[in-house]
Chain A
Amino acid sequence: MRVTLFTFLLILFVKPILAQEDCNLTIRGKVIHAENNEPIESAFILILENESGAVTDYNGLFRVSNICPGTYTIKIQYLGHQDYIEKLEIKSNSNFTFRMAAEDISLEGVDIHGHQDALITTNSVSSIYGEVLRSTRGQTLGESLKKIPGVNTYSSGSTIQKPVIHGLHSNRVLILNNGVRLEGQQWGSDHAPEIDPFIANEISVVKGAETVRFGADAMGGVILVNPAPLPVKAIQKGEIDLIGYSNGLGLNAAASFTGGSEKIKGLGYRIQGSSKIAGNVQTPGYMLDNTGVNEINFSGALGYSNSRLGTELYVSNFRTTIGILSDSHTGNLSDLESIIENGRPFREAVFKYEIQNPKQEVDHQLVKAKIHYHLNDGSKLNFQYSFQRNHRQEFDRRRGELNERASLDMVLFTNSLDLSYNHQTRKNWDGAVGAQVMQQANSNIPGTGVIPLIPNFDMINLGIYAIEKFTNGPLELEGGLRFDSRHVEAARIIRGDLQERNFKFNNFSAFFGGVYALTRNLTFNSNLASAWRPPNINEQFSQGLHHGLAAIEIGNPDFESEQSFKWLNTINYNSNNLKIELTAYANRINNYIYLNPTEEQFISLRGTFNVFEYLQTDANLIGTDLSAIWNVSSNWEVFSRGSIVRAKNIIENSFLPFIPADRLESGISYQIASGSSKNNTKLSISNLLVAKQSREPEFDLAPAPPGYQLWNLGAQTSVNLGKNKLNIGLYANNVFNEVYKDYMNRFRYFTHELGRNVLIKLNYEF
C-alpha cells in the first residue's frame, strides 16, 4: 500500500520533461488482467530512468509522451497484482500490451481477482448489474433485459416472455446459464427460458452473432446470465430478497449465502434459492383468468482455486407452473374470430392463486463441472462438462380423466463437453482453440392421448473452432472460424405408421471484428459475423393443429439450415458525466424459416381452421439502438434509450411478423446523497413511448394495436445497519393505468396489457 501511495505522489509531482529536438517519442499501451484479459483501470506505469509515468484509463490504456530514444525500464503496479517490470528499447513511437498476474492468494488483505472468465469479444457487450439489476428483481428474464436498448420481449400473455434481440428470438438467440448453453424446448413461442434471474449478479447481452464461440443459434445475439465468482478467501456473506407486488398479489422471496473456507484456502461455495407465487393479474378494465404462476428454484456451487487451478461444480434446479389465460385456447377458427372481435376475454374472472388447465409445468436441472488450469507459459486449458434435463408438460382443458394428463409431455436430455486451450503470447496475440461435443435426446412420454407435436430424436453436434486476437494499444482485432457437424435421427408413430428421418447439417461460421479506442473516452467496435441455425424440429415435423391458435401448421423436413451475416457497429462514449452507446447493425438471413398463411382452410367436424405452412425465404433486418446517460450534476441524472428495427422478407417483399415497434424510454432521476450516513436515496420518473407497428405482414389475425405511452415511478434507498445493508425500493409501473395492447404479445388479439402495478422490494445484504 505504501508503495502505491508513493507511486501516486511520484506521478503527481513528476516534473515535465524538457522538450528536446529528438525526444518526441510516445509510448502507448494497454494493461490487462493476465487471467481474463479484462482491461485494468488505474494501474500505474513508471518509466524508472526518467521518472515519468502515467495511469491507465477506463479501457486500460495509457500514454507516455516526450521520450528520448533509448532503453528504459518500465514498471507497472496494480493493487493485488505482481509488479510487472520489463526493459524496453525505444527507437520509435511504440505500442505495447502488458498483462498483470494476480498475486498469490496467501497474501492477506488483498482483493484477489478470482478465476471468473470474462467474455472477451470485440463485440460490444451491454450488461445490467448492481442497482439496476436489483430494480428488475422479481421480473422475468425477458422483462429485465428490456433495460438494454435493442432487447425486447415476445410474449404469450403476462406470464411467458421470451427475450428478443434485434428482432430475433427463440432459437435465433442463445442463452448461457452460468456458462452453459440453455437447452430447453426453445423453439416454442410460448416456451419461456428456464432461468432463475436471481442467480445472476450480472446479466449481459452480446448483440453480435457469436456462433464461432458458442455454436449454432447465436444468430441475433447471446444472453449471459452470470452468478458472482465464488470467493477464494475466508469470507461469509449473503443476501435476502423479498418482493411484493400489487397486480397479481405476487410474492417473491430469494436468499443466497456465499462463503469461503478458512481451512482450505481457495475453497468457496454458494447456496441460493428463490420462489415466486402470484395469482390472476389485472388489466385496467378486467381480470385475466388463470394467469397465476408458481416457481421454486435452487442452486448450489462449490469451487476451488489456487494460482494455477480453477474448479467449479454447479447444480441448479428450476421448477415452474404457469397458468395460461383460459380463453386463449380456442376450439376452431370461428371461436378465435369471435374472441378477436370481442377484443378481450369473454370469461369474467375473479382473483385467485389456483392454477387450472390450460397450464404448463416445466422443470429444468443443470449440472456443470468446470476446470481450468494455467500452464507455465501463461496459456490455459479449459474443460467443462454439463448435463441438462428439461421436462415440459402442457395441460389443456379436456374431457374426463384426460384433464389430469398432459397433452404434451417431453423430456429433453443434453450432454455437453467443451474443451479449449487459450494461449497468449508475450504481448500482442492471444486466442483460443476448442472443441465442443453436444448430445441431445428428446423423448415424448407416452400416455398423453395426443399425437406428439414433435418426434423423439437423438442429436449429436461436433464443433471445432479457433479464435485469435491481436492487441496493439488502442486497437484490438479479432477473427475466428468454426466448423460444426450435426447429425439428427428422428422417429415417431402416427396411428401405427412409423416415420423415421435422419438429417445431417454441416456448417462453417466465421467472424472478424475490431475495437479501436479513438480517445480515452471514445471507442468504436465493428464486427462482421456469420452464423447458422439448423431448422427446428417443429419446423420440420409439424403436421397438425396448433392448439389455441386455430391453425393447422405444416412443416417441411427438407429445410436447409439458416445462414446469417450480421454486421454490428457500436460507438461508445464514456466520460465522467456522459455515457453514450450507439449501435447500428444489418443482419442478412438466408433460408429464413417462417410460418406463412396459405389461402386454404381445413374443415373438420370440429370446425374450420386456417392452414399455415413453414417456408424458407431470405430476410434482412437492420436497426439501431441508442442509450445515453447524462449526469447533469451530482444529484440529477437524465437517461434515454431507444431502438428501431426494420425487418423484411426479401423474396416476398413483405414485412416479417412480430418485429418490435420503435420505442423510446426516457427518464430523470434525483439522488439525495447524504455523505455522512452513506444512504443513497434516489427518486426517478420515466416515460416509455412505443409506436404503432406500421410495418405489418400481409396476413395477420388482427391489425397492429395503436402506439402507447406509459409512466413509471421509482424510489430507492439503502440503510446501513452496522456492517449490513438494507436496500429498499418502491416502484409503480403504468402509474396512470393506461389501457393498451402491445404488438409483441401473441395474446394481444384478445387481451390488454397489465394495469398499474406497485412493487415493494427489500434486499438485505449481510
Chain B
Amino acid sequence: MKKLNFNLLILLLTTSIILFSSCESNDPEDENEGELITDVTLIFTEVDPTGGTVGTPFEVKASDPDGIELGSNPTIETINLGIGKTYRLELELFNRIENEDITEEIEEEADEHQFFFLGSAFVGSPVLTYVYDDADEDGNPIGLRGFVTVASTPTSNNAQFRLVLRHDLNKSYSGANNPNFENFVQAGGETDLDITFPLILN
C-alpha cells in the first residue's frame, strides 16, 4: 500500500512537471489600432447665396500621430474665414497609423454619430452660425457636411471653434438637433473628438 502510494506520488510529480513546462505565454503581437482618429481635416469652400461655389476650397487640419497615446501634443491649425461670407464645411477623418478612412465608418453608422459646433465662435455672442446639411436614415443630422456663415458685423475678430464628435448618443434627445447644443452630454454617449481650433476673421 505504502509503495503504491509512493509510486502514485512519483507519477503525479512527473505529470506536473510535464504540465508545467508546456505552459508558456505567446509572443506578443502588434495590434492594429483601427479605432484611432489621428487626422481631422476641415474643408471650407466659399459659396454664394444660391449655393454656387466661389473660389477654391481650403483645408484646416488637426493631427496627432500618436492618437491618444502619450507623446507629442496634437498640431492644430488656425481657421481663417472672411467676414460676412458663407462656406460649405466638409469634415474628413483619417487614421494615419492604420491608413483607414474613418469618414466612411461614420457614414455607415450615421445614426450613432453626431458633430457639435461649440466654443465662443458659436455660443454666447456667436460670430459663426452653423447649419447641418446631411442626415441619417432617421432624418437626424450628422455634421459631416454643413454650412458656416460668418456674421457681417462680428463682435470680435477672433474666437474658439470647438468641434465635438459624439457617438452612441440619443439623437432624438430634445435639443440634440441644434448644432450648438451645449448640453450635448445630456443626450448620452461618448466623445470621440474634442478639438478647439483658433478662429480668425478678416
Instruction: Write the residues of chain A forming the contact surface with B, with a CB cutoff of 8 angstroms.
Output: 308-309, 326-327, 329-332, 334-335, 338-339, 342, 346-347, 369, 371, 373, 381, 383, 385, 387, 397-400, 402, 413, 415, 417, 437, 439, 441-444, 446-452, 455-458, 491-496, 498, 543-545, 552, 554, 602-609
Contact = CB atoms under 8 A, between A and B. Distances in A.
A415 B31 contact: no
29 contacts: A309-B1, A331-B190, A334-B194, A342-B186, A371-B8, A385-B16, A397-B167, A399-B105, A399-B109, A400-B105, A415-B23, A417-B13, A442-B25, A448-B31, A449-B34, A449-B35, A450-B33, A455-B28, A456-B27, A457-B25, A492-B28, A544-B68, A605-B38, A605-B64, A605-B67, A605-B68, A606-B193, A607-B191, A607-B193
Interface string B177-192: 0000000011110111
A552 B102 CA distance: 24
Interface stretch (B43-51, B69-77, B79-87, B145-153): B69-77
A441 B105 contact: no
Contacts of B192: 331, 606
B23 A327 contact: no
B190 A402 contact: no
Given A387-B19, A439-B23, A604-B67, A334 B29 contact: no
Contacts of A335: 185, 190-191
Contacts of B9: 371, 373, 381, 383
A402 B35 contact: yes
B191 A383 contact: no
Given A335-B185, A604-B74, A415 B68 contact: no
Given A371-B12, A496-B30, 4 more contacts: A335-B191, A397-B167, A495-B97, A603-B73
B168 interface: yes
A326 B195 CA distance: 24
A442 B25 CA distance: 5
Contacts of B34: 402, 449
Interface of B: 1, 5, 8-9, 12-13, 15-16, 19-20, 23-35, 37-38, 40, 62-64, 67-70, 73-74, 97, 102, 105-106, 108-109, 166-168, 170, 185-188, 190-195
A477 to B, nearest CB: 32
A347 B188 contact: yes
Nearest to A608: B194
A371 B16 CA distance: 14
A606 B37 CA distance: 8
Given A371-B9, A492-B28, A554-B70, A437 B20 contact: yes
Contact of B69 (A339, A369, A451, A455): A451
A346 B188 contact: yes
A439 B195 CA distance: 47
B28 A493 contact: yes
A135 B188 CA distance: 39
Contacts of A413: 23
A398 B109 CA distance: 11
A330 B190 contact: yes
Given A415-B23, A456-B27, A552 B70 contact: yes
Given A441-B25, A495-B97, A606-B68, A452 B31 contact: yes
A417 B20 contact: yes
Contacts of A458: 24-25
A443 B170 CA distance: 37
